[in-house]
């Protein structure tokens, strides 16, 4: 099917207004009597506001279908039904967020992520751990997928069998909704994944497709022979090459090749079928109605496929997300999308806008932090962030040192080459460095998804192990332990101080090391990402209040960073002014709000570094400054001396 070429905007406006005029009375007749007139009016007002956007995206995607109007009506009917089902407390939250729509830009926002079972056993366990989260200042909690999945390997929950059922080992959907409420009452927004590129092969739709029900075969992308898969694969890369080469899996029972971008048991949904869009919007709003405030849109780059392309980041993928966004704005305006696009930086930023995803992971910043640690050189980091950090008004990055996934070298070749490195060689060096195969390297990672053809790999490992803590403790060299602790604080200092929302992988704040035991578990063996997903060690966490311990030093350092961010007015707005410090080993940026300004500095080497005082003064600093992180007053007459891996937040002394 060929997509409709978007018509000119005047035509779209007329057509959208005419469609709404026809649709509204029909929707009203079906649903209006089931709610208060005032509420209905407010709903219709929002519908009117966002419908033109919804219409234009759906028209671009499905306008060529002869029954487009029928689909439009059923999409609106589903949305309206989900709005009627939305609990009163969440409608109150909607109203609150409508008057404060940029709530997620507050400097109070600090994110954390975890697996429910590994962090606290089950949902009830997470509830009991709320005090730990509030102690740390967390206001955003991303729970890794909690849904029903196949037993055994299920890609860490990313193969969903039912979006409406919680994995029984973790609790029930009621427990989840209650947890969302309780978190909210403690000032914490619940973040969940919307895994909408694929379902597991055990999902009811997949099962019905397997049983031979034709309409459900159309929910996925299936081919009778290798002709089309071969044609597609000629221009596509491989995502999980170790798991299965290519993007298709032969399913013997139905004698078809099924599109499976990730694992063989994750079937890609077919969004060319408007019915799939309709069904998935119901699943999405169902989650919103449980009290989820931020939806992490999983694997956005892969939503749409077209022959002759790499089947990533196609315009239709953006239209789909924008259509979902318009629906959320109508039905559940408290909900915000965050994009998970781990692709080329030019493409990452295309998902970020108020109309699409106001929030996005910042995979390039993450990768370049590790790059600077390995090279002891901040030039690529500085160059790339100066070019790419700015986002449209109202949007924000989610900055992280690492997450549940591997670390991929998701920077642009041009940014690396601008500094004089060869991009491919540089990526290989970084992988070698962090898997400990480079002389003098402190990293203790493992390769993830090594491509047998190209030798390319990404890296798995916890923040602490990659920062050298594992090696230093093994060698029992105090000076090395000290350097590793400083690296961990430096990484966290930067994600906390940079504009946007910092995201901490729970466990990193207590310096958790790699878990080599994952290989014993048949559901995890072979996927090195489990190396950095250990069970949270509560016995270790008990040391956090003892500043004499390694755990205490890391934890208290991170706590201080968070407090600094939440309390200093300079961090109020997301803008970040990245500067050239004049020293290629020291990364620096300003955060400014009104008359408040701080200068954040990070020394990426194990040596002392010096910054010229004259230059600092040109940047507006004075001779006497306060380092808010260390709580010390400094005087820089000739130069400012930074200790190995020192992280500073400088303010002018009063």
Binding site for ligand GLC (CB under 6 A): 155-156, 158, 195, 262, 298-299, 340, 405
CB 311 to ligand GLC: min, Å? 15
- Kindly state the helix (H) or strand (E) to which residue 517 belongs, with its residue range: none
Cβ nearer to ligand GLC, comparing 155 with 356:
155
CB 408 to ligand GLC: min, Å? 10
What's the CA gap between 590 and 117, in Å, rounded?
Answer: 39
In sequence order, the β-bridge partners of residue 198 are 268
> In a 10 Å sphere around its CB, with 0-12 CB exposed, 13-18 middle and 19+ buried, how is residue 224 labelled?
exposed
Specify whether the backbone of 446 is left (phi greater than 0), alpha (psi in -120 to 50) or beta. Answer: beta
340, 364, 509, 515: which is the annotated catalytic residue? 340
Radius of gyration of the chain (CA): 25
Cβ nearer to ligand GLC, comparing 360 with 375:
360
Residue 11, Cα to own-chain centre: how many angstroms?
37
Cβ nearer to ligand GLC, comparing 155 with 543:
155
* Residue 476, SS3 per DSSP: coil
242, 275, 282, 298: which is the annotated catalytic residue? 298
What's the CA gap between 330 and 375, in Å, rounded?
Answer: 48
CB 144 to ligand GLC: min, Å? 8
Spatial contact of 457 and 449, defined as CB atoms under 8 Å apart: yes
What's the CA gap between 461 and 464, in Å, rounded?
Answer: 8
Cβ nearer to ligand GLC, comparing 51 with 158:
158
Specify whether the backbone of 456 is left (phi greater than 0), alpha (psi in -120 to 50) or beta. Answer: beta
For residue 135, give the nearest of 500, 549, 562, 495 by alpha carbon.
562
Other beta carbons less than 10 A from residue 218's beta carbon: 16
Residue number with the smallest Cβ distance to ligand GLC: 158
Q: How many alpha carbons lie under 13 Å from residue 264 in its C-beta half-sphere?
A: 11
> In a 10 Å sphere around its CB, with 0-12 CB exposed, 13-18 middle and 19+ buried, how is residue 552 labelled?
middle
CB 247 to ligand GLC: min, Å? 13
CB 559 to ligand GLC: min, Å? 27
CB 159 to ligand GLC: min, Å? 8
Angle at 530 between CA 525 and CA 534, to 5 degrees: 125
Spatial contact of 570 and 596, defined as CB atoms under 8 Å apart: yes
CB 89 to ligand GLC: min, Å? 30
What's the CA gap between 296 and 81, in Å, rounded?
Answer: 23
What's the CA gap between 552 and 543, in Å, rounded?
Answer: 6
Cβ nearer to ligand GLC, comparing 405 with 482:
405
State yes or no: is 340 an active-site residue: yes
In Å, what is the CA distance from 480 to each residue of 73, 78, 201, 644? 64, 59, 48, 11
CB 239 to ligand GLC: min, Å? 8
For residue 343, give the nearest of 366, 359, 363 by alpha carbon.
363
CB 209 to ligand GLC: min, Å? 19
Spatial contact of 405 and 363, defined as CB atoms under 8 Å apart: no
Residue whose entry in the numeric block shows the structure tokens 């779209």: 12
Q: Which sequence positions are flagged as catalytic?
A: 298, 340
């Amino acid at each position: 099917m060929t997509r409709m070429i978007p018509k000119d905007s005047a035509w779209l406006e007329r057509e959208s207004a005419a469609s709404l005029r026809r649709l509204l009375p029909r929707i009203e007749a079906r649903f209006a009597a089931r709610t208060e007139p005032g509420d209905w009016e407010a709903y219709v007002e929002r519908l009117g506001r966002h419908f033109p956007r919804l219409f234009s995206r759906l028209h671009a995607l499905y306008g060529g279908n002869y029954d487009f109007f029928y689909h439009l009506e059923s999409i609106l009917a589903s949305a309206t039904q989900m709005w009627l089902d939305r609990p009163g407390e969440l409608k109150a939250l909607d109203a609150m967020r409508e008057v404060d729509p940029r709530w997620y830009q507050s400097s109070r926002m600090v994110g954390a992520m975890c697996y429910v079972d590994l962090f606290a056993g089950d949902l009830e366990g997470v509830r009991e751990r709320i005090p730990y989260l509030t102690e740390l200042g967390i206001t955003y909690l991303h729970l890794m997928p909690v849904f029903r999945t196949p037993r055994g390997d299920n890609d860490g929950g990313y193969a969903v069998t039912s979006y409406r059922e919680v994995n029984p080992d973790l609790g029930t959907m009621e427990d989840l909704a209650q947890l969302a409420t309780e978190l909210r009452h403690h000032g914490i927004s619940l973040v969940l994944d919307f895994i909408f590129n694929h379902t597991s092969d055990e999902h009811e739709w997949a099962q019905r497709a397997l049983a031979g029900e034709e309409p459900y075969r159309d929910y996925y992308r299936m081919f009778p022979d290798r002709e089309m898969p071969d044609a597609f694969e000629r221009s596509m890369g491989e995502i999980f090459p170790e798991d299965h080469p290519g993007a298709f899996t032969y399913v013997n029972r139905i004698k078809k090749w099924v599109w499976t971008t990730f694992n063989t048991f994750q079937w890609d949904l077919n969004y060319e079928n408007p019915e799939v869009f309709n069904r998935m919007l119901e699943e999405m709003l169902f989650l919103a109605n449980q009290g989820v405030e931020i939806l992490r849109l999983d694997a956005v780059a892969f939503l749409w496929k077209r022959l002759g392309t790499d089947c990533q980041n196609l315009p239709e993928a953006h239209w789909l997300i924008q259509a979902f966004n318009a629906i959320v704005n109508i039905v559940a305006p408290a909900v915000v999308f965050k994009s998970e696009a781990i692709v080329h930086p030019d493409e990452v930023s295309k998902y970020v806008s108020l109309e699409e995803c106001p929030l996005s992971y910042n995979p390039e910043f993450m990768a370049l932090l590790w790059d600077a640690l390995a090279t002891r050189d901040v030039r690529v980091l500085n160059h790339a962030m100066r070019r790419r950090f700015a986002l449209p008004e109202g949007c924000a990055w989610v900055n992280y040192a690492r997450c549940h996934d591997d670390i991929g070298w998701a920077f642009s070749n041009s940014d690396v080459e601008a500094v004089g490195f060869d991009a491919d060689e540089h990526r290989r060096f970084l992988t070698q460095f962090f898997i400990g195969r480079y002389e003098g390297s402190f990293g203790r990672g493992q390769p993830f998804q090594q491509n047998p053809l190209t030798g390319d790999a990404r890296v798995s490992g916890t923040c602490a192990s990659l920062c050298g803590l594992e090696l230093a403790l093994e060698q029992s060299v105090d000076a090395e332990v000290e350097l590793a602790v400083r690296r961990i604080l430096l990484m966290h200092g930067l994600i906390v101080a940079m504009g946007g929302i910092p995201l901490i992988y729970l466990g990193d704040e207590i310096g958790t090391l790699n878990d080599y035991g994952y290989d014993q578990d048949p559901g995890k063996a072979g996927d090195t990402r489990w190396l950095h997903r250990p069970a949270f060690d509560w016995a270790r966490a008990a040391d956090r209040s003892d500043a004499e311990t390694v755990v205490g030093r890391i934890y208290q350092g991170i706590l201080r960073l968070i407090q600094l961010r939440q309390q200093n007015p300079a961090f109020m707005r997301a803008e970040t002014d990245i500067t050239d410090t004049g020293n290629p080993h020291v990364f620096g940026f300003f955060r400014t709000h009104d008359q408040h300004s701080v200068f954040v500095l990070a020394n990426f080497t194990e040596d002392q570094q010096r910054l010229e005082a004259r230059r600092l003064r040109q940047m507006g600093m004075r001779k006497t400054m306060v380092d808010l992180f260390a709580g010390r007053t400094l005087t820089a007459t000739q130069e400012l001396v930074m200790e190995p891996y020192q992280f500073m937040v400088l303010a002018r002394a009063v």
